[in-house]
């Protein structure tokens, strides 16, 4: 019968996923990733290093950040957020999804006005995108509209999504001018519902994804990216870099860093 056939297929799919999750290769990736992260220094505080002081820099600014998550999850995953500052404004506004906020406020969407390049549970952030000036001012209303239109404010799943990385990826898809290339460690960025298997990637390329569990992306920013159970392998031939599950990016940095006055002072260049 049709119902019985569907049940058998679902059981077989669950069995195959369990077999993959029990694969020692995935556990080895997690172990070595966690060991590598633990050996990385966390003494350098990045607050004020990537984001100029809002009170002293009048230009419009858009920045996207990623930082390792809390606990054992940081072996594989990062948390991402989007920060904007309109021209003439004396503060930044950052947008992000925080799962536990859903239980308290009936919405996981959080808006804050603190310095955007602060740590996340003690883990220092990486700057993924930095746009300033007239282009930033032109794109900020589009970002704000995308935040308003995010469809999963009242839903959160750490894996396979929707989560904080699903949100940031949604912003990129809605505002392709950002050309946002999220790292392989942004688990959840490929999540999508079953009725939208093929669409634009956050960078403006093409992406096919089955609930964020199986997919492929291709574009100028990410190159070729393969996704299996949310673990991504990216081959970025244009930037001479690769991105591995858990480890992240190996090779040329995604963007040139514009040092702030604080960073210049600490390096002795002032």
**Cβ atoms of residues 110 and 158 within 8 Å:** no
pLDDT at 130: 97
CB 90 within 8 A of CB 55: yes
Domain ranges of the chain: 2-267
Q: Helices 164-174 and 134-149, interaxial angle, to 10°? A: 120
Q: What is the pLDDT of residue 19?
A: 52
Report yes or no: 259 and 49 within 8 Å, Cβ to Cβ.
yes
Q: What is the CA radius of gyration of the chain?
A: 19
pTM score = 0.81
| List of residues 6+ apart from 188 with CB closer than 8 A | 77, 158, 159, 160, 161, 162, 163, 164, 165, 166, 169, 212, 230
Contact 150, 121 (CB under 8 A): no
DSSP string, 108-143: -EEEE-S-TT--BTTBPPEEEEEEETHHHHHHHHHH
> In this predicted structure, what is the pLDDT of residue 103?
87
Beta bridge partners of 227: 215, 232
**CA distance linking residue 236 with residue 220, whole number of Å:** 8
Long-range CB contacts (< 8 A, 24+ apart) of 144-151?
A: 144/84, 145/174, 146/170, 146/171, 146/174, 146/175, 147/82, 147/95, 147/109, 147/171, 149/174, 150/109
Mean pLDDT by 10 residues, the chain (270 residues): 51 50 49 47 63 94 96 90 97 96 93 93 94 98 98 95 97 97 96 86 93 93 92 87 88 65 49
């Amino acid at each position: 019968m049709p119902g019985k056939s569907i049940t058998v297929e679902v059981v077989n799919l669950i069995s195959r996923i369990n077999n993959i999750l029990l694969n020692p290769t995935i556990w080895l990736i997690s172990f070595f990733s966690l060991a590598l992260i633990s050996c990385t220094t966390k003494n350098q505080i990045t607050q004020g290093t990537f984001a100029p002081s809002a009170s002293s820099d009048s230009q419009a600014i858009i920045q996207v950040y990623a930082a390792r998550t809390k606990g054992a999850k940081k072996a594989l995953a990062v948390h991402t957020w989007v920060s904007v500052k309109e021209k003439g404004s004396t503060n930044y506004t950052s947008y992000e999804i925080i799962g536990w906020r859903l239980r308290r406020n009936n919405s996981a969407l959080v808006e804050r006005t603190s310095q955007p390049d602060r740590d996340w549970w003690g883990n220092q952030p990486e700057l993924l995108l930095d746009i300033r000036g007239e282009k930033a001012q032109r794109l900020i209303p589009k970002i704000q509209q995308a935040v308003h239109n995010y469809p999963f404010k009242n839903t959160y799943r750490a894996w396979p999504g929707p989560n904080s990385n699903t949100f940031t990826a949604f912003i990129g898809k809605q505002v392709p001018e950002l050309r946002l290339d999220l790292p392989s460690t942004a688990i959840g960025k490929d999540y999508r519902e079953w009725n939208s298997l093929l669409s634009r990637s956050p960078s403006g390329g093409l992406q096919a994804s089955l609930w964020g569990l199986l997919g492929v992306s291709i574009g100028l920013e990410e190159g070729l990216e393969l996704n299996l159970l949310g673990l991504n392998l990216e081959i970025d031939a244009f930037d001479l870099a690769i991105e591995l599950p858990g480890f992240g990016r190996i090779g040329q940095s995604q963007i040139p860093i514009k040092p702030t006055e604080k960073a210049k002072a600490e390096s002795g260049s002032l």
